[in-house]
Amino acid sequence: MRLLLNISILAVAVYCGLVLLLYIFQRNLLYHPSTKNSKPADYSISEMALVEIITSDGLKLDAWFKEAEEGKQTILYFHGNAGHLGHRSIKVKKYLDAGFGLLLLGYRGYGGNSGKPSEKNYTLTGGLR
């Protein structure tokens, strides 16, 4: 009976330890930023320009922009939770080839931008409140 109790206590302790580790390292599990600065020309999309966007709280973020051709719309493109803008160059090339305008917006903590990735900061980057 004592052995069963010890095994149960150990199992609960291991479980609590794992939950604690998940809580402590959750940001590392959710966000995988690449801090490398990149330019559109580095990824064979030299038709895009490197521009600076100022967020609602005054932070400057790098973005890539190309104006739309006549009669086409401009797409606002967020690159996701890993990498940086350059890692999405292949995906956006088809939109550029079709004449769409593009604004690829970098996140805080990604691609050389200051700040740290978080849900709150993603919302701030998107201009939402």
What is residue 127's predicted lDDT score, i.e. its pLDDT? 67
Are 51 and 6 contained in the same domain? no
Are 10 and 71 contained in the same domain? no
Provide the mean pLDDT of the chain: 85
CA 51 to chain centre: 17
Are 94 and 113 contained in the same domain? yes
In this predicted structure, the answer to whether residue 22 has a pLDDT above a threshold of 50 is: yes
Kindly write down the DSSP assignment for every residue of 37-51, as one continuous string.
---GGGGT-TTSEEE
Are 38 and 91 contained in the same domain? yes
Q: How far apart are CA 72 and CA 76, in angstroms?
A: 13
pTM of the model: 0.74
By CB atoms closer than 10 A (0-12, 13-18, 19+), residue 55 is middle
In this predicted structure, the answer to whether residue 129 has a pLDDT above a threshold of 50 is: no
Q: Which is it for the CA torsion 61, 64, 67, 72, positive or negative?
A: negative
Q: How far apart are CA 84 and CA 81, in angstroms?
A: 9
Are 8 and 54 contained in the same domain? no
2-6, 29-33, 113-117: which has the minimum mean pLDDT?
A: 29-33
What is residue 72's predicted lDDT score, i.e. its pLDDT? 95
CA 125 to chain centre: 10
Q: How far apart are CA 83 and CA 118, in angstroms?
A: 15
* Residue 25 belongs to domain spanning: 1-30
Segment (H or E) for 101: strand 101-105
| Total structural domains within the chain | 2
- CATH number, domain of 56, equals 3.40.50.1820
